[in-house]
Chain A
Amino acid sequence: MPGNIQSIERAAAILRLLSGRTRRLGVVDLAGELGLPKGTVHGLLRTLQHVGFVEQDADSGKYQLGAALLHMGSSYLDGNELRTRALNWSDSLATRSGEAVRIGILHETQVLIVHHVFRPDDSLQTLEVGTLLPAHATAVGKVLLAHNPYLATELLKDDLQAYTAATITDPERLERELRRVRAQGWAADIGELVPGQVAYAAPIVDRRGLTVGAMGIFGPPERLLAARQPRGELLVMVREGARSVSRELGAIPW
């Protein structure tokens, strides 16, 4: 039997330390704990970051366990379970906003619609549950990509397809957009998938702090935009709705 591979052992030791009480450690802390040169630890961290097993906190520069690793450790949230838990809040969002509601989860690099509430105006509408939508051209998709850097990278390996003139097809622009979505806590799609359709979405977070889905509304610009900008009161409803679902899933109340 060949000997153990030293770099994997060292990487595992880093992950163990990051899963400990402090959770966020800098290169110096880790190097000290492991008794290794800073340069070696930094190299290991860069590789772990690349595969999504660790993430670097933008403000402090410290490292923490990455989403990809957390996804592996616990089964992802079943879409049918998410719909059941979200039912009251999605109905409430449709009632308050007067618009159709949808909830999506990532299915590889696309968005799978797991729940759809009709716009409450009794017009003819068809249930969209089970539909796959392109992630980069939808508000729900952009929220999910913004919180899943690994899949965002995967998506950017191929050309981004244009669905309308407004679809973001430039990879750098999409990366900027995802950073913005992550920072502001919501995403908008203004005619990027279907001309004349506007959508907003906000993240649904579970008790581990992972973004497991996104909930939002969609409708015509005449109702969803004011002076070509997202209407603040609708954004508030979407974000509150998504927060309520997150609370239902056991995310820390905030």
Chain B
Amino acid sequence: MATMVKNYVAAVDQGTGSSRCLIFDGSARLVALAQKEHRQIFPRPGWVENDPEEIWRNVEQVVQTALDDVRLEVSDLVALGIANQRESTIVWERDSGRPVHNMISWQDTRTDQLVREIAGSAGPDRFRERCGLPLATYFSGPKLSWLLDRLPGLRARAQTGDVLFGTMDSWLIWRLTGRHLTDVTNASRTLLMNLGTLDWDQTLLDAMGVPRAMLPEIRPSSEVYGEVRGGPLRGVSVAAALGDQQAALFGQGCFSPGEAKCTYGTGSFLLFNTGARPVMSSSGLLTTPACRVGDEPPTYALEGSIAVTGALVQWFRDNLTLIGSAPEIETLARSVQDNGGCYFVPAFSGLFAPHWRSDARGVIAGLTGYITKGHLARAVLEATAWQTREVVEAMNADAQMSLSMLRVDGGMTANNLLMQFLADVLDVPVVRPLVAETVSLGAAYAAGLAVGFWPDTEALRANWHKAAEWLPKMDPELRARGYRKWRKAVARTMDWLDDDDEE
């Protein structure tokens, strides 16, 4: 059917395992989805790389496939937005466009020693005031520093701007439009950007030995970056880029201070919109730009990640083999009325936000002869809710606001027992939106705003609908007692590792 009006926005979600393209209509309804996985390269233990050329080919291909599936033409798209895995690091030649090395994935831990050297006696919080982040292997700066140190002649070529650095957004925008830029949310994960000025910070560049000439220009998250120069997408406006978690926050419609979302996957990411000001955390949460729409001032967020949530259910399935599939944990958990006094703290590699104790290891506390596998299943699910409560409390304290509703997405939202328990222990409504693809939707929203497809964020709010809502109904005394016991269980995980443990 031929139409004169462009009616669709495309989002590219370039993730850790795959690249996807989703196409949305003006009411933010998903009309097409295509996906392609890419190779994971493990050159050594702890090293994780990907081929940027392969990812680029996949991105072009999934956009074309998504369009073909619903018989749309490139000319039906008003804009394309990008949401991407954060922190992964690419360096390429300006002239040839060829990468000088595989992309170093965010999961890669080769910079462990380097990060400790940079932290020095000041410790991991050496630059927290400047960039909102602790020094850790995830972030791009140390990975870039490693490449500049290890590849012969690279630093000299970087100083002259012959080679360029970028995170995934920059790489894709470069390939699509020929421009070298990044957005504030992606730049904020490099450890190189100053949170106050939203520009590269000379102190940070010096600490990591990064020449400014190789860095992309930092732009808003929602802005027309340029038109696609060639290939199947020729002529489409590239109009948004956001890190995946910030994209999910935007896609969940958390545009105002106090609004928060949590994405429940293997691990979970809770982002809390703190409005126009960056809030420094006293409990080790990350401070990050949430989004910047055009010339408007940026909004900020606090970010808390929980390392082990869905991963604990997988562990329960694979290592204890008490269930055959992850959803069956709900059936098992419902075979009993409560946790029987049993608490499971999955500090498998230490405690993260808000405790930050690397000497901690997991415990199952409160075991008695009464405990069955049903009680253990309850404790496994409840661990996700209690960990969320700890992060929410830290955020409420840091932001001096209190969460009034939690928007959720991700695979674990299919678990009703967990979602109800989450509402119970947080004592706020927990809401699942109708469009589960919040990462892609956020990128589509930001791109659609940039080209005027949607007038403003108020118009976007009208697209957001509840698919399910869980209201708190737990007796306050029971909630308080449960949280007290959880904290006692957490206390029992600490000081487990000794100096002579091999870890």
Q: Are A80 and B327 in contact (CB under 8 A)?
A: yes
Given the complex of chains A and B, what is the CA–CA distance between A87 and B264 in angstroms?
15
Q: Are A95 and B435 in contact (CB under 8 A)?
A: yes
Given the complex of chains A and B, what is the CA–CA distance between A166 and B465 in angstroms?
33
Given the complex of chains A and B, what is the CA–CA distance between A83 and B329 in angstroms?
13
Task: Decide yes or no whether A186 CB sits under 8 A from chain B.
Answer: no
Q: Are A95 and B29 in contact (CB under 8 A)?
A: yes
Nearest-neighbour CB distance to chain A for B446, whole angstroms, equals 21
Q: Which of B326, B327, B416, B434 contacts A94 (CB 8 A)?
A: B434
Q: Are A79 and B436 in contact (CB under 8 A)?
A: no
Given the complex of chains A and B, what is the CA–CA distance between A95 and B435 in angstroms?
8
Given the complex of chains A and B, what is the CA–CA distance between A250 and B465 in angstroms?
30
Task: Decide yes or no whether B470 CB sits under 8 A from chain A.
Answer: yes
Question: Which residues of A have CB within 8 Å of B330?
Answer: 80
Task: Decide yes or no whether B459 CB sits under 8 A from chain A.
Answer: no
Task: Decide yes or no whether B415 CB sits under 8 A from chain A.
Answer: yes
Task: Decide yes or no whether A72 CB sits under 8 A from chain B.
Answer: no
Nearest-neighbour CB distance to chain A for B494, whole angstroms, equals 34
Nearest-neighbour CB distance to chain B for A79, whole angstroms, equals 7
Task: Decide yes or no whether B325 CB sits under 8 A from chain A.
Answer: yes
Task: Decide yes or no whether B76 CB sits under 8 A from chain A.
Answer: no
Given the complex of chains A and B, what is the CA–CA distance between A129 and B469 in angstroms?
11
Question: Which residues of A have CB within 8 Å of B435?
Answer: 91, 95
Interface majority SS (helix, strand, loop, mixed), chain B = mixed
Task: Decide yes or no whether B57 CB sits under 8 A from chain A.
Answer: no
Question: Which residues of A have CB within 8 Å of B415?
Answer: 80, 84
Q: Are B326 and A84 in contact (CB under 8 A)?
A: yes
Question: Which residues of A have CB within 8 Å of B434?
Answer: 91, 94-95, 117-118, 120
For chain B, residues 401 to 436, give those with C-beta under 8 angstroms from any C-beta of chain A: 411, 414-416, 434-436
Nearest-neighbour CB distance to chain B for A189, whole angstroms, equals 22
Task: Decide yes or no whether B468 CB sits under 8 A from chain A.
Answer: yes
Q: Are B326 and A120 in contact (CB under 8 A)?
A: no
Q: Which residue of A lies closest to B333 (CB)?
A: A80
Interface residues of A (CB under 8 A from B): 78-81, 83-84, 87-88, 91-92, 94-96, 116-118, 120-122, 125, 127, 129-130
New A-B contacts (8) at CB < 8 Å, excluding given A84-B327, A122-B466: A78-B325, A80-B415, A80-B416, A96-B29, A117-B434, A117-B468, A118-B469, A121-B465
In the assembled complex, 23 residue pairs joining A and B whose CB atoms fall closer than 8 Å, in A order, are A78-B327, A80-B327, A80-B328, A80-B330, A80-B415, A83-B416, A84-B327, A84-B411, A87-B436, A91-B436, A91-B467, A94-B434, A94-B467, A95-B29, A95-B435, A117-B434, A117-B467, A118-B469, A121-B465, A127-B416, A127-B469, A127-B470, A130-B416
Minimum-distance CB pairs A-B, first 6: A120-B465, A80-B330, A84-B327, A84-B414, A80-B327, A81-B327
